[in-house]
Structure 1
Amino acid sequence: MNILALLHAGTPGRQAPLLSKSGASRTAFAQSLSHLVDLGLLERNPGHGHPLRPEYRLTPKGVEIAAVAGKINAAVTEQAHGPILRRTWSVPVLAASYKPRYFGEIKNELVSVTDRALSQSLQQLQKSRWLVRNIDTSKNPPRPIYQAANQGFEIAQAINLARV
């Protein structure tokens, strides 16, 4: 996500500037680039540069997703919250909890998430105050209900606006 946001912000598509601005290790950076190319979000710029130092550019699909990634990065003001964003289920859970949802409703929207992974993500997001857990006492037995809050709400809003 960080690479997409950097390209959207105007960072040159060569590996050296992207690597230095992303702060990732070379191995993680190379894996991320390969994954983004496989997803069809990035492509090698065929008319540029040396074969050993390729330049990358966003595909049309990548441009849309990079705009969302830029909004997500802009919503995260503290450097300490970066690791939370990089967790596998943080962003999808925030997107699913844009409006108040029960655990089961979030799980149904994120089909491949396990109960344990969802529970851990919800706890981590609560600790960072990106998610609020309230108890719905109108149900018997009372059930917890989750909703994105603060920076988590801004991230959820950016994602859900892109869906429309």
Structure 2
Amino acid sequence: MDIELLVKIASRAWSLSILALLHEGVPGRQAPLLAETGAGRTAFAQSLAHLKALGLLERNPGHGHPLRPEFRLTQKGTAIAAIAARIRAIVPGQQESAVLRRAWSVPVLAVGHHPRYFSEMKGALMPITDRALSQSLRQLRAHQWIEREIDTSQHPPRPLYQTVNAGAAISQAIGLASAAP
């Protein structure tokens, strides 16, 4: 999966959860998915529409009611749903799942698989602002998913960030770790 697509998917809070649930076999109707995610109706509907717009979901022809359609994963969506299911398996708790629903958490973890400076992370996540990146890093450090070390070989010393613990497992599950820095 490329980082641009990951950023687009993560921009809606419930997108990864919906993909993971569909991969795990939850029926593609709104009621079962809504019950499993625990999302609000509006946010859930926006995430569902977003996944359709990205080409990861499609209406299941011949199934469902026009007002209560049934959805299925597209071929592209199936591959990404498997990644979402691996991420969901790593982070089963409610509090940790809430961290992953934040827009930049998963993309930051994806690019933090090896030590990077703040500016390198920002460059890899091109549309991110300094504020959004620093808030994400702070929150991920609070959950011990990102580690911050000071590189004293530089003058002035600069902090390096790298995923650890569950953050490293999520980064590995996403599969960007094999990409060049």
**TM-score for both structures, normalised by structure 1:** 0.96
The one-letter amino acid of 1:60's match is: Q
Corresponding residue for residue 128 of structure 2 = 113
**Structure 1 gaps, min length 5:** none
User: Which has the bigger relative contact order, CA under 8 A and spacing at least 6?
Assistant: 2
The separation in 2 between residues aligned to 1:118 and 1:62, in whole angstroms, is 27
The separation in 2 between residues aligned to 1:107 and 1:69, in whole angstroms, is 23
Given that 2:113 and 2:177 are in contact with CA atoms closer than 8 Å, whether structure 1 keeps it comes out as no
The structural deviation recorded for 1:52 is 1.6
The separation in 1 between residues aligned to 2:83 and 2:178, in whole angstroms, is 10
The percentage of aligned residue pairs carrying the same residue is 64
SS at 2:58 equivalent = strand
The separation in 2 between residues aligned to 1:132 and 1:107, in whole angstroms, is 17
The structural deviation recorded for 1:49 is 2.4
Which of 140, 147, 157 matches 2:172?
A: 157
Structure 2 residue 89 is matched with structure 1 residue 52: no
Corresponding residue for residue 94 of structure 1 = 109
SS at 1:145 equivalent = strand
**TM-score for both structures, normalised by structure 2:** 0.87
The structural deviation recorded for 1:134 is 0.5
Instruction: Provide the alpha-carbon RMSD of the alignment.
Output: 1.4
**Structure 2 gaps, min length 5:** 1-15
The structural deviation recorded for 1:163 is 7.2
Q: How does 1:57-96 map to 2 (within 5 A)?
A: 57-96=72-111
In the comparison of the two structures, how many residue pairs are matched? 164
The separation in 1 between residues aligned to 2:166 and 2:55, in whole angstroms, is 29
The structural deviation recorded for 1:47 is 1.5
Corresponding residue for residue 151 of structure 2 = 136
The one-letter amino acid of 1:115's match is: D
The separation in 1 between residues aligned to 2:93 and 2:66, in whole angstroms, is 37
Corresponding residue for residue 24 of structure 2 = 9
Deviations 1:58-104 (A, max 9, x none): 00010011011001111113221121101111011111111111111
The one-letter amino acid of 2:40's match is: S
